[in-house]
């Protein structure tokens, strides 16, 4: 990949080569392979099978060697060489020879880049004066990892050395601080500490189970989305979790989708766990006659899909094999597309703001214009669909970018991106415009002239998947959810056993008002029970002793505001219910 010479990407790419120079200096038997820039720095893969491999303790000396070498890299230039020259230079490195074969197969020129006596095979994209361009303290070696050559587990296992690199030392330090904070917020860590979910070997990787608090959290999220949808004219349907293989043959999933579980035989026919919901929605629409007067029809279902993700790609709730989608398919006329997508974007914006996200934008995901073989449908259909999305997004006023090779195999889509409290970017909602599946399923409606027309289908999910959204929410709030989302919204703590009668009345009044409440009357000190409630990140701790029992008040300790004055029970209940109802 070629970068502007002064860009951060170019400096990161240069640092990968600098790392290679330092490794060869300290580990002469090492065979360098490839070293690209990344979103946060760079890495380089090495084969150390011919000698001693570095460990974590070697990273500081290697980093120091990079700084020492950098001062001599005042000029980095590329030269074109012949195949013979390239092969002679790298005759002892089978990885570089394989790369040379690939370059020749693509009909490209072979170029070498050199600086300070070090030369590497590369297409380019570097700093021309690394010693001057790379700021002092702006990079650091980060960690070691294993990596198969070219990502293929049949190939040799290499050692990958990762580095971090930013424009300045201050930005590097800020990134490291953010990453440390992210570790504290890791949803896998908090999920266990707060008893939200568990991943259990005996159940299977990527198949999360939810404790009561986690189940309440996900139900609260899903109910909010369901209510929001139904208030905007979407109607619920229900679909099964297995289906005949013939349905996925019809939809194209068997030919194009590679994350399906192997089939099971039922009554002599092949059945599959569903990885997608689209075909079921199509069949439900097709089972009834429709007039243009009924359109748009907005079907929605919160339902679980099962995808055979590779074990190495599974990660907590962010990548699972059982994922629940708030799925929706709108069947409409071409003239209704703009209004329907505007309705969707308005709802998505409201959802993001309600959950506490303020920075979001849209990616218009297009097919790969240079390789169209992996997509269903002809050029005219794709061109029409892509232009329709561009037109709608421009009118909504959302920030947007276009990205090739990001479309679904049946149509282009809008992917909604947001930033969390740590500035990390996530892709959540999606809207997909589909002219192909309606054709494959033979969907139709009676148009205004009495003839038969084909509807357009708009696929839409707001959360993407409940599990992944929960992971993002856990990390965004560090487990300290807003009152309306908190699995336990208040905890009643009687000071002593003689206060349990009034504590029980407080508990009952809160429960009656719809507040999710627990009572901790265990035989522990009040201080320890308060600390426990804080560790559980409960929004309100209500302490009741003799004075509260006599005055019918509660002493409130707020997670956000600290200790509050004692207040009448009715006042606390009214205030809490108002905040829960308004989701403030």
Q: Which residues are catalytic?
A: 278, 307, 325, 327, 329, 413, 459
DSSP state of 468: H
Q: Are 433 and 388 in contact (CB under 8 A)?
A: yes
Residue with tokens 């856990």: 474
Q: Kindly report the CA angle at 31 between 74 and 21, in degrees rounded to 5?
A: 15
| Biggest alpha carbon–alpha carbon distance for the chain | 95
Indicate the helix (H) or strand (E) that contains 459. strand 456-461
The Cα angle at residue 163 between residues 162 and 165, in degrees rounded to 5: 150
The first and second tokens of residue 22, run together, are 């330092």
Q: Give the Cα-Cα-Cα angle 341, 347, 348 (nearest 5 degrees).
A: 85
- Do the Cβ atoms of 10 and 126 come closer than 8 Å? yes
The token pair that represents 542 in the structure block: 């209500």
In our burial notation (b when 16+ CB lie closer than 10 A, e otherwise), range 5-39 reads beebbbbbbbbbbbbbbbbbeebeebbbbbbebee
Note whether 62 and 54 are within 8 A (CB). Answer: yes
CB 260 within 8 A of CB 291: no
Helices (H), 163-286: 169-185, 187-193, 212-231, 245-251, 253-256, 278-286
What count of residues does the chain have? 584
Q: In the chain, count of helices (H) and strands (E)?
A: 19, 28
DSSP state of 291: B
Terminal-residue alpha carbon distance, the chain:
47
Q: Nearest CA to 20 among 161, 150, 132, 152?
A: 161
**Shortest CA distance to 522 belongs to which of 549, 537, 503?**
503
Residue 386 phi, psi (nearest 5): -65, -40
Euclidean distance between CA atoms 319 and 468, whole angstroms: 7
Burial of 394 (0-12, 13-18, 19+ CB in 10 A): exposed
3-state secondary structure 328-382: EEEEECHHHHHHHHHHHHHHHHHHHHHCCCCCEEEEEECCCCCCCCCCCCCHHHH
C-alpha to C-alpha distance for 42 and 109, rounded to whole angstroms: 24
Q: Provide the pairing of β-strand 31-32 with 41-47.
A: antiparallel
Distances from the Cα of 202 to the Cαs of 199, 310, 312, 467, in angstroms? 9, 18, 18, 20
Angle 240-243-244 from CA coordinates, rounded to 5°: 160
């Amino acid at each position: 990949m070629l970068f502007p010479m002064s860009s951060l990407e170019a400096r990161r790419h240069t640092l990968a080569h600098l790392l290679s120079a330092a490794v060869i200096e300290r580990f002469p038997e090492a065979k360098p392979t490839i070293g690209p820039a990344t979103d946060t720095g760079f890495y380089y893969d090495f084969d150390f099978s011919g000698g001693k491999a570095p460990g974590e303790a070697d990273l500081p000396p290697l980093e120091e060697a990079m700084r020492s070498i950098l001062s001599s890299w005042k000029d980095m230039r590329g030269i074109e060489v012949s195949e013979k020259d390239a092969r002679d230079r790298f005759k002892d490195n089978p990885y570089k020879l394989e790369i040379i074969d690939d370059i020749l197969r693509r009909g490209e020129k072979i170029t070498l880049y050199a600086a300070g006596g070090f030369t590497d095979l590369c297409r380019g994209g570097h700093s021309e004066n690394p010693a001057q361009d790379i700021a002092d303290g702006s990079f650091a070696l980060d960690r070691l990892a294993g990596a198969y050559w070219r990502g293929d587990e049949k190939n040799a296992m290499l050692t990958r050395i990762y580095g971090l690199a930013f424009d300045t030392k201050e930005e590097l330090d800020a990134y490291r601080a953010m990453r440390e904070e992210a570790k504290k917020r890791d949803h896998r860590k908090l999920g266990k500490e707060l008893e939200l979910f568990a991943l259990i070997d005996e159940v299977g990787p990527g198949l999360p189970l939810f404790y009561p608090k986690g189940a309440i959290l996900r139900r609260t999220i899903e109910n909010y989305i369901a209510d929001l949808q139904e208030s905007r004219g979407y109607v619920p349907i229900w679909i099964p979790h297995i289906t005949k293989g013939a349905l996925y043959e019809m939809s194209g999933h068997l030919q194009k989708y590679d994350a399906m579980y192997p089939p099971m035989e039922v009554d002599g026919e092949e059945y599959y766990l569903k990885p997608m919901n689209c075909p079921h929605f199509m069949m439900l629409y097709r089972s009834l006659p429709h007039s243009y007067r009924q359109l748009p029809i907005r079907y929605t279902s919160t339902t679980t899909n099962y995808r055979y993700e590779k074990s190495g790609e599974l990660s907590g709730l962010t990548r699972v094999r059982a994922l629940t989608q708030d799925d929706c398919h709108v069947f409409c006329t071409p003239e209704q597309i703009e209004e329907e997508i505007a309705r969707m974007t308005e709802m998505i914006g409201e959802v993001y703001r309600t959950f506490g996200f303020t920075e979001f934008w849209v990616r218009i995901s297009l097919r790969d214009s240079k390789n169209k073989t992996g997509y269903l449908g002809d050029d005219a259909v794709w061109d029409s669909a892509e232009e329709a999305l561009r037109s709608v997004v421009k009118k909504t006023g959302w920030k947007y970018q276009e990205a090739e090779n990001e479309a679904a195999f049946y149509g282009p889509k809008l992917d909604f991106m947001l930033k969390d409290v740590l500035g990390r970017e996530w892709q959540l909602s999606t809207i997909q415009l589909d002219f192909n599946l309606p054709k494959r399923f033979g969907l139709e409606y009676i148009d205004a002239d009495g003839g038969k027309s084909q509807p357009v289908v708009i696929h839409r999910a707001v959360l993407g998947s409940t599990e992944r959204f929960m992971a993002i929410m856990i990390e965004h709030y560090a487990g300290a959810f807003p009152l309306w989302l908190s699995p336990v919204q208040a905890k009643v703590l009687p000071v002593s056993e003689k206060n349990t009668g009034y504590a029980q009345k407080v508990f009952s009044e809160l429960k009656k008002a719809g507040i999710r409440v627990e009572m901790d009357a265990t035989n522990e000190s009040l201080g320890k029970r308060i600390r426990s409630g804080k560790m559980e990140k409960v929004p309100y701790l209500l302490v009741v002793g003799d004075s509260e029992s006599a005055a019918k008040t509660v002493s409130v300790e707020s997670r956000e505001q600290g200790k509050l004055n004692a207040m009448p029970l009715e006042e606390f209940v009214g205030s809490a219910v108002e905040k829960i109802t308004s989701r403030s």
